[in-house]
Structure 1
Amino acid sequence: MTTAVTSTTSSTTSTTSTSSSSGLSADYDTFLQLLCAQLENQNPLDPTDATQFTSQLVQYSNLEQQIATNDKLDSVLSSLSTSTFSSGVGYLGHVVEAEGDSITVQSDGTVDATWGYDLDSAASSVKLTITDSSGETVWTGTGDTAAGSHALEWDGTDSDGDTVDAGTYTLKVTALDSSGAAIDTTTTIKGTVTAVDSTDGTTLLELGGTSVSLSDITRLAA
């Protein structure tokens, strides 16, 4: 099994932060040069007003503090990003369970993850419907009606027993009580973490071709 780790978050954050700090530093240097030029070229018979000069010094000090504050914030953001990504790497090779309703079927028919669903209370009937990325139903069946957690082991075939095309498939659980009222359900997916990706700033765990957010993980199964 090949595992992959991808992260461009730190470099992106660093590039943005460097650009911001460089801009402030340029303004800082320009302000200092103008202040020095003003002092050098002021009229000795009519020097800069003390109040005005004090105000300029305050602006100079505020700009200096802003640059220092931005540098500290950049450091904090970089540390947080690295920490989150490192947490994701710790899941590599482990089986996790996460909130979600979509999984991926590979071109060879391999299903990357399994579904699970929770019923808040016992149901009179439970209908399971699997749809493809276009919303077309490919498989329907009945599920367990007892309250609690249940698993659905789908083999990647449609209602006729034919292997479905590669792509993303979604499970819908419809649970009704004896009066026909809907029962609250929660759908989950479970699979082995094969890669970690943090390209866009959000740490994602990849279960084969299925991606889940680190924040959606509800259980470490193994």
Structure 2
Amino acid sequence: MTTVSNDTSSDYLKSLQKTTSDKAGDSTTGASSLGKDSFLQLLVTQMQNQNPLDPQDNSEFVAQLAQFSSLETMQNLSTSVDAIGGMYQSSQALQASSLVGRSVIVDAGSTNVDTSKEMTGSVTVPSASSVTTVKVYDADGAVVRTIDLGDQKAGTASFTWDGKDDAGNVLESGNYSFIAKGSLDGTETGLTTYLPATVTSVTMGSAGTSMTLNLANGTNIALSKVQQIGI
């Protein structure tokens, strides 16, 4: 009977690695391609060719079985994680399709406005503000309307714009910017505005990133910045 030495086992392991790698089409990643079948084949070969006068020690045999079991568990876990990832992408795609055409309230400074009807937005006030205003700018950067919100407590303050300028003239529909400011402890401070927008399309996120909403005004925003989803 042929005896397999440590050097022979090592050579056989390398041979298995190369064979597995060739099947995968990449000879540079042989070590990482050694699967449970190759591991088991190596273990059986060692048992078949062991020296009958000096058989393999029981503890070493059990240790190899434990390694085989651990390898199989890791491969099964990897398969399960891949399946979960596929389910997550499917769920994300379904969520994305339901958002197209919907109105959302987002953390933004501008939005596309239909001036034939009122538009409602909100301002985040971090602390009491004695003078709170929202200025509306047209596409050319000119101020067309100043909305006075007066004194505001800390929290969220809503505002409504009827699509008219300060003189009462109805403006054309289009993209408008909204800049809110408040007097906090006597210092004029810029405030965050939340504006309504329509989702025209959705860009799916890659691994580890959220999807991006493409809005009617030509901008895009991360899903995490959406405050509210409407109809």
**TM range, normalised to the smaller chain?**
0.5 to 0.7
Total equivalences in the alignment: 177
For residue 214 of structure 1, report the CA deviation from its aligned partner.
2.4
CA gap 1:24/1:180 in 2 versus in 1, 3 angstroms: same
Alignment partner, residue 149 of structure 1 = 158
Alignment partner, residue 26 of structure 2 = none
User: Out of 54, 59, 74, which is 1:46 matched to?
Assistant: 54
- Describe the superposition over 1:133-192 as per-residue Cα deviations: whole angstroms up to 9, x where unpaired: xxxx9345633224421256889xxxxxxxxxxxx9975422115x52456833123221
Q: Which one has the largest radius of gyration?
A: 2
CA distance in 1, matches of 2:36, 2:163: 63
Partner letter of residue 223 of structure 2? L
User: Out of 112, 118, 121, which is 1:116 matched to?
Assistant: 121
Partner letter of residue 34 of structure 1? L
2:56 aligned counterpart, secondary structure: coil
CA gap 1:210/1:153 in 2 versus in 1, 3 angstroms: farther
CA distance in 1, matches of 2:224, 2:83: 23
CA distance in 2, matches of 1:54, 1:62: 12
Larger RCO, structure (CA 8 Å, separation 6 or more): 1
Gaps of 5+ in 1: 1-22, 105-110, 156-167
Percent identity for Structure 1 against Structure 2: 26
Alignment RMSD (CA, Å): 3.7
2:182 aligned counterpart, secondary structure: strand
CA distance in 2, matches of 1:39, 1:150: 80
The reply on whether 1:71 has 2:75 as its aligned counterpart is no
CA gap 1:131/1:169 in 2 versus in 1, 3 angstroms: same
The reply on whether 1:197 has 2:203 as its aligned counterpart is yes
CA gap 1:172/1:115 in 2 versus in 1, 3 angstroms: farther
User: Out of 169, 174, 191, which is 2:181 matched to?
Assistant: 174
- Structure 1 residues 76-87: aligned runs within 5 Å: 76-87=84-95
CA gap 1:138/1:183 in 2 versus in 1, 3 angstroms: closer
For residue 63 of structure 1, report the CA deviation from its aligned partner.
0.7
CA gap 1:44/1:214 in 2 versus in 1, 3 angstroms: same
Alignment partner, residue 138 of structure 1 = 141
1:173 aligned counterpart, secondary structure: strand
CA distance in 1, matches of 2:198, 2:130: 31
Q: Is the 8 A contact 1:197 1:204 kept in 2?
A: yes
Alignment partner, residue 221 of structure 1 = 230
Q: Is the 8 A contact 2:109 2:193 kept in 1?
A: no
Gaps of 5+ in 2: 1-30, 165-174
CA distance in 2, matches of 1:48, 1:96: 69
Using the size of structure 1 for normalisation, the TM-score is 0.63
CA distance in 1, matches of 2:223, 2:135: 27
